[in-house]
Amino acid sequence: MGAVRRPHHRVLFWGFVAASNDILIPVFKKAFALSQAQSQLVSVAFYAAYTVGALGYFGISRMRGGDLLQRIGYRRGIVLGLLLSALGTLLFYPAANSGSFALMLSGLFIVGLGFALQQIAANPLAIVMGNPATGAQRLTLAGGINNLGTTVGPLLVSLAIFGSVAANNDVASIESVKIPYLVLGAAFVLVALLLWLSALPDRIDLDAVARDEAADAAKLADRGSAFAYPQLALGMLAIFVYVGVEVSTISNLPAYLHEGLGIQTHRLAPYVSLYWASLMIGRWTGAAGAFELGAGARRVLTWVLPYLAFGVYLAVNAIARHDVSPFFGYAGVIVVMIAAALLSRGNPARMLLYFALCGIAALLLGMATTGKTSIFAFISVGLFCSTMWPCIFALAITGLGRHTNQGSSLLIMMIMGGGLVSWAQGALADAVGVHASFWVGVACFAYLAFYALRAARAARAGHRPRPPGRAARALTARRATPRCRPRNGGGDRVAHPPTERPP
């Protein structure tokens, strides 16, 4: 299957919609006179759909006595998800014309349901497509492609709602919200047609994949259910709080920028865009190992790629006629992320720990300061969330064998943290002020640091002497701990975490 290419257009869609929600939140808050907690229902509707979709998938599979995707096919599952998302975008037309907040939320919920099915189907495909030695780096690169959508999405939706920056219009037109979403729905249908005609595989042998990935074949005992694997349970909570802090930070940041610093609503787009571009910057950094180059060249790329991604952010915002000069100083913040990535040396538990600690420091600095310092500190959370998804998956899903799809659906279910944690921070903001509400994110990063330490101990405890023989000698080339990228360009075998989530 090495010749098969992963369809990166899907991650562009996921990123576009997820980041655009952060423009809709302040617009809906003003137009419908909502509290901060009520405005976060936008995130709740979108991310709760992942939970409902994953539970539905899990329940249907159990009732039918077998994995649903193995029955209908992975390509057909992705196509069905795209058409379901397209159906959700159609609701924006009557919702915008009638000014109905409930219909807007219903549309986002249905779009999210389609995304859930797309992700559950895409995850196992990402395990087997391409060169297994660079699987995790391909996924990180796919995340960078995803964040092209998150960088551009807020700018396009802001343009559709407010018009050009030169117009200096701070009055939101709810009716204009329908335009970008109807165009997006048409794109969903077009891509569904192209995928239906494509050569994407419909069936994969998950047990064979797990045997190929495992560090020790003796650990591949079938435990009967995905729930029986302890690494999955802790990983589910880690996904919940990771998506939670990533989404809640940017969902509540516009309120701080507008209410705390007086930045007008129609000028928020470049700040939202920079947050999501920060995830692109971090993921392009982690993707350096995917290139077939020497160790020295990869180290150079580790420094060059993040600033290339930053240049993409500056370029698209300049094209959109935003003043980008206030953001030049962010280049210094990127150095901290690169240093943390280099110090982790590709170990997923170590990278998760360092990035979680950096995230805690960023939020504490943001709450202790004001002005540009606090803005850059809060936005840098995007940098430190950038590579957490593949690291958590690498630690949580390795070796599940025929339960991989079941485990994938359970992990996708925990994306609901993006909605629930955002709502919790919004409720806290209503009580103590939005500036102090970022303590919610500190708590999330604290658990991620704990999970990183726990996973590192579990990996060391799981390292056992291998039995003698030819099969054992073949296994000694493998590492006991899955890695986010090969160390020193060495091309280590890696455990293949599933593909990227919506932000």
User: Which among 290, 319, 36, 20 has a CA at the least distance from the CA of 181?
Assistant: 20
* Residue 302 domain flag: yes
Domain carrying residue 103:
9-489
Whether residue 487 has pLDDT greater than 70: no
Q: What is the residue whose two structure tokens read 């920056």?
A: 165
What does the alpha-carbon distance between residue 364 and residue 371 come to, in Å, rounded to a whole number?
Answer: 14
Query: Has residue 170 been placed in a domain?
Result: yes
pLDDT at residue 58, as a whole number: 79
DSSP for 150-176, please give it: HHHHHHHHHHHHH--GGGT-----GGG
| Residue 502 domain-assigned (yes or no) | no
Say if 500 falls within a structural domain.
no
Q: Which of 114-123, 129-138, 157-166 has the highest mean pLDDT?
A: 114-123
Residue 349 counted as domain residue: yes
Rounded to an integer, the average pLDDT of 4-24 is 61
Mean per-residue pLDDT, 403-410 = 72
With respect to residue 377, please indicate whether it lies within any of the assigned structural domains: yes
Higher pLDDT among residues 485 and 245, named by residue: 245
Residues with Cβ within 8 Å of residue 464, at least 6 apart in sequence: 216, 218
Least confident of 147-151, 274-278, 395-399: 147-151
Q: What average pLDDT does range 260-286 have in this prediction? A: 88
Q: What is the CATH number of the domain that holds 312?
A: 1.20.1250.20
- Give 11's contacts (C-beta < 8 A, 6+ positions apart): 142, 143, 145, 146, 149, 499, 500
pLDDT at 339: 93
pLDDT in tens, 300-359: 888 998 999 999 999 988 988 889 999 999 999 999 999 998 898 778 888 999 999 999
At 295, list the tokens: 């160790």
User: How far, in Å, CA of 378 to CA of 376, rounded?
Assistant: 6
What count of Cα atoms within 13 Å lies in the side-chain half-sphere of residue 245? 33
| pLDDT given at position 411 | 83
Rounded distance between C-alpha atoms, residue 347 and residue 343, angstroms: 9
169: left (phi over 0), alpha (psi -120 to 50) or beta: beta
Q: For 82-96, 247-261, 433-447, 450-464, which range has the lowest pLDDT when averaged over its residues?
A: 450-464
Q: What angle do CA 41, 43, 47 make, to 5 degrees?
A: 120
- Residue 494 belongs to some domain of the structure: no
Q: Which carries the bigger pLDDT value, residue 109 or residue 30?
A: 109
Given this model, what pLDDT does residue 428 score?
A: 96
Residue 489, CB half-sphere, CA atoms under 13 Å: how many? 13
Check residue 485 and give its pLDDT. 46
If we measure between CA atoms, which residue out of 148, 414, 430, 383 comes closest to residue 246?
A: 383
Q: What is the pLDDT of residue 140?
A: 55
pTM of the model: 0.77
* Residue at 499 is within a domain: no
Choose the most confident range, by mean pLDDT, from 179-193, 273-287, 359-373. Answer: 359-373
Residue 391 CA, distance from chain mean position: 12
Higher per-residue confidence, 116 vs 461: 116
Residue 175 has pLDDT above 60, yes or no: yes
Report the pLDDT value the prediction gives residue 209, as an integer from 0 to 100: 55
Q: Provide the number of structural domains found in the chain.
A: 1
* CB contact set of 250 (below 8 Å; sequence gap of 6+): 19, 22, 272, 275, 276, 381, 382, 503
**Region at 321 (left for phi over 0; alpha for psi -120 to 50; beta for the rest):** left
Q: Which of 161-175, 262-276, 330-344, 347-361 has the lowest mean pLDDT?
A: 161-175
- The Cα 89–Cα 112 span in angstroms is 10
pLDDT > 70 in the chain, percent = 70
